[in-house]
């Protein structure tokens, strides 16, 4: 890859395209910026991200970039696959593959992996033109915090070796697609960041205009996290002992009139599920208990989730593990 990229920059330099814009006019971004997944402690969930390039000016000739996946406590957080984005795959350059010009392709698109154990889709990559594998390069394990679970990928692109085609001003031109395999549950997470420290020598994060390299602005890391599971509780069981009884209504009245002590599951006190705890709640509970003229809404009498969103919250509920 290094040899090819050096060649490309030399060719680009010969063109001498005028370039007066600032690096702020070029943005490399990983999209979507935020992904929240349902908890997945036992199975790998697939997440597809794209590396997108936006440029305010015409004439980009190529780029190189490095992407580092950083695990923060997830069971698994790895690059399952990385491939040329369809935007790039159909870019009208003059591709050069195995000694033959192939119109309608970028001239060079070199993608390298940097991971040993986590590359699970190696075989599929061999079919994509201009891809070169480089497994086994060892980054410092401490980068990801979880030894053996880091993953990184680099890409080096020359759009058109003959400079007939360059990238015009673009918004979110897809450069690279990255499929992540993620497994875990809240509060574990992972992030995908640009890095110019991947490889040896490292691959710079640059855009090439007129044969010169410009560092782009890079957007904030893409964050992948797991939603905390919805808390389970029994509506009306204000003292969280598993049974709705008069003592709960007395506790509720005490909470409303006297103590106001912080409780770990306010949702349980919202007997009528109207999103607030008021004196109507113990009264509704009394009616339900004393003459069955009120039906306590779910979750009741068994543990369950609050079917209606509100701001009350339920941090913990001892009777519903
Ligand atoms: Ca109770
Ligand atoms: Ca209420
Ligand atoms: Ca509710």
* Rounded average pLDDT over 229-248: 94
- The answer to whether 225 touches 186, Cβ cutoff 8 Å, is yes
| Confidence at 99, pLDDT banded by 50, 70, 90 | low
Return d(Cα 200, Cα 166) in angstroms, integer: 28
User: What percentage of residues in the chain have a pLDDT greater than 70?
Assistant: 77
Compute, in angstroms, the gap from residue 96 CA to the centroid of ligand 3. Answer: 61
Measured in Å, residue 225 CA sits from the centre of ligand 3 at 25
- In terms of CATH architecture, what is 232-305? Orthogonal Bundle (1.10)
Q: Which residues contact 223 (CB under 8 A, 6 or more apart)?
A: 33, 34, 35, 189, 190, 191
Please, which pLDDT band fits residue 253 given cuts at 50, 70 and 90? very high
Which bound ligand lies closest to the C-alpha atom of 284?
2
For residue 217, what are its two tokens? 């602005």
CA of 230 to the centre of ligand 1 (A): 21
| CATH 2.60.40.680 intervals, the chain | 2-226
Report residue 208 as tokens: 């090439």
What pLDDT was estimated at residue 317? Answer: 93
Which has the closest alpha carbon to 179: 240, 122, 137, 139?
Answer: 122
Q: How many CB atoms lie within 10 A of CB 135?
A: 13
pLDDT digits (tens, 9 = 90+) for 57-76: 999 999 999 998 888 888 88
Output the CA 268–ligand 1 centroid distance in Å.
10
Q: How far is the CA of 248 from the centre of ligand 1 (A)?
A: 5
Ligand minimally distant from the alpha carbon of residue 251? 1
For residue 94, the model assigns a pLDDT of: 61
More confident site: 140 or 179: 179
- Residue intervals of the chain classified under CATH 1.10.1330.10 are 232-305
Q: For position 103, what pLDDT does the model report?
A: 67
Q: Tens of pLDDT along 109-144?
A: 888 777 534 333 333 333 332 223 322 222 222 233
Q: pLDDT tens, 261-276?
A: 778 899 999 999 999 9
CA of 317 to the centre of ligand 3 (A): 15
Provide mean pLDDT across the span 194-210: 86
Q: Which ligand has the minimum distance to the alpha carbon of residue 304?
A: 3
Ligand that comes closest to the CA of residue 301: 1
pTM: 0.67
Mean pLDDT of the chain: 79
CATH topology of domain 2-226: Immunoglobulin-like (2.60.40)
For ligand 1, the distance from its centroid to the CA atom of residue 309, given in whole angstroms, is: 23
- In percent, the amount of the chain with pLDDT more than 90 equals 43
Q: Name the band, by pLDDT with cuts 50, 70 and 90, for residue 206.
A: very high
Ligand 3 centroid to Cα of residue 273, in Å, is 5
Between the CA of 226 and the centroid of ligand 2 the distance, in Å, is 30
pLDDT of residue 139: 29
Q: How far is the CA of 307 from the centre of ligand 3 (A)?
A: 6
**249 CA → ligand 1 middle, Å:** 9
**Ligand 1 center to 240 CA (angstroms):** 5
């Amino acid at each position: 890859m290094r040899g090819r990229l050096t060649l490309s920059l030399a060719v680009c330099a010969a063109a001498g395209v005028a370039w007066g814009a600032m690096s702020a006019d070029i943005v490399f971004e990983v999209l979507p910026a935020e992904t929240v997944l349902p908890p997945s402690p036992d199975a790998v969930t697939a997440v597809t991200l794209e590396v997108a390039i936006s440029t305010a000016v015409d004439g980009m000739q190529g780029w190189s970039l490095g992407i580092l996946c950083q695990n923060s406590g997830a069971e698994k957080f790895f690059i399952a696959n990385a491939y040329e984005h369809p935007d790039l795959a159909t870019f009208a350059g003059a591709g050069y593959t195995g000694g033959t010009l192939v119109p309608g392709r970028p001239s060079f698109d070199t993608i390298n992996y940097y991971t040993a154990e986590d590359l699970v889709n190696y075989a599929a990559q061999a079919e994509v033109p201009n891809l070169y594998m480089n497994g086994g390069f060892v980054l410092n394990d401490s980068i990801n915090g979880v030894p053996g679970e880091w993953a990184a990928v680099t890409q080096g692109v020359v759009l058109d070796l003959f400079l007939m085609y360059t990238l015009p001003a673009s918004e979110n031109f897809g450069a690279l697609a990255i499929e992540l395999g993620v497994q875990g549950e809240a509060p574990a997470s992972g992030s995908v960041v640009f890095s110019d420290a991947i490889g040896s020598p490292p691959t710079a994060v640059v855009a090439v205009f007129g044969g010169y390299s410009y560092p782009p602005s890079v957007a904030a890391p893409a964050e992948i996290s797991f939603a905390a599971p919805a808390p389970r509780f029994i509506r009306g069981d204000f003292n969280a002992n598993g049974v709705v009884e008069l003592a709960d209504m007395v506790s509720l009245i005490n909470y409303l009139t006297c103590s106001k002590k912080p409780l770990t599951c306010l949702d349980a006190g919202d007997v009528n599920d109207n999103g607030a705890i008021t004196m109507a709640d113990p009264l509704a509970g009394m009616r339900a208990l004393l003459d069955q003229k009120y039906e306590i809404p779910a979750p009741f009498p068994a543990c369950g989730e609050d079917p209606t969103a509100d701001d009350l919250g339920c941090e913990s509920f001892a009777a519903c593990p």
